[in-house]
Amino acid sequence: MQTIGICRFSYPGDGGFQVEHASLKERMDYLYAPARMAERFATFETMMLPPLKAQTDGDFTFLIVIGNSLPRPYRDRLEAAVATLPQAVIKAYPPGPHRKVMQDAINSVRRFDGNACLQFRMDDDDAVACTFVERLRETALDVLPMAAKHRHIAIDFNQGFIARPSALGLEVAPTNTPYTTAGLALMFQPDLRLSVMNFAHMKVGQKMPTVTFAGEDMLIRGHNDHNDSRQKPGIKSPRLTRLDAVGKAHFKATYAIDEDAVAAAFAGLSCR
C-alpha cells in the first residue's frame, strides 16, 4: 500500500495560509526572509528529518513541495539535507491555488496501482515517531475492509508533544488533541484523486469515518514564532517545560531527535 507524506517547504501558494498577504511579492518576501528561512532549516534538519531517516518501515515517499521561486542557495541546502533520505522527492511549482497544486503534486507521485493510498502531511518543524510508517501501514490493513465502503478514512495517532526549539534545546508539553498533524493520515480508495491536502485536518471528523489511537507517542507538533497559525492576535501558548534527562532519552529513542543537535542549530542562529 503506497504511503506518501507531504511537506510544503515555504511554498508561496494562493491560499493555505491563515494570515494572508496583500500581494504575491509580499508573501515571498515573508517566506524567504533570511531569519525565517534559517529557522525553518534548523527545524527541518534537526527535528523533521532524523525520524524520517530512521523509519522502521522505509517503504514510503516523502514529497517536498517548493516554489520555483525558491532562491538557489535555499534549494541547494534543501537538496543537500535530503541527499541521505532516498524516499525524498522535491517538486517545484509556480504560485497557484494551494489545494490544487498540492493535489497535483501528490498525484504526480501516486502509482494508482489498484490499491488504497495512505497520505500524511507535515510542516517543516513537525516530526513523527520512527515507527510511524510501520504502525500506519499495520493499522491501514486492519481497517481495509471498512475502506471498501468509504471514499476516504482518517487514521489518527493523536498522542505526542508540542515542542519549541531554541538555543537551550527543547521545551515541550504533552498533547493528545485529535486530528493533529503530523500523526494524522488519510486512506483513499484506489482511483480517488483527492489528497490529504484537500481537507482541513481539524475537520476530517466531519467529512469521513475516523479511527483514533492513543497511548503511544507518535507525533511532534512544532511551536515557534514563525508558525502560520501563531501570527494572529490572541493565540494561547501551551505551558512548556524543558526536557529532563529522561525526556531527552525518550525523544532520542522515539523520534531519533538529539536535543543537543537542536540546541546547537539554534545557537548558531543567534550568533548570526
> Where does the pLDDT of residue 18 fall: very low under 50, low under 70, confident under 90, or very high at 90 and above?
low
Output DSSP code: residue 237. Answer: P
| Spatial distance between the Cα atoms of 107 and 208, rounded to a whole number of angstroms | 21
pLDDT of residue 14: 82
Q: What is the mean pLDDT of residues 104-133?
A: 97
| Spatial distance between the Cα atoms of 146 and 140, rounded to a whole number of angstroms | 10
Indicate which CATH number applies to the domain containing 171.
3.90.550
pLDDT of residue 152: 96
pLDDT at 235 over 90: no
- Residue found under cell 531527552: 248
pLDDT at 107 over 80: yes
pLDDT at 223 over 70: yes
Q: What is the mean pLDDT of residues 186-213?
A: 94
Q: Which domain holds residue 116?
A: 2-270
Q: What is the mean pLDDT of residues 80-107?
A: 97
Phi, psi of 56 (to 5 degrees): -75, -20
H helix count then E strand count, the chain: 8, 12
Closest Cα to residue 174, out of 139, 212, 201, 214?
A: 214
Q: What is the mean pLDDT of residues 260-270?
A: 92
> Where does the pLDDT of residue 237 fall: very low under 50, low under 70, confident under 90, or very high at 90 and above?
confident
pLDDT of residue 129: 98
Summary mean pLDDT of the chain: 93
Question: How many domains is the chain partitioned into structurally?
Answer: 1
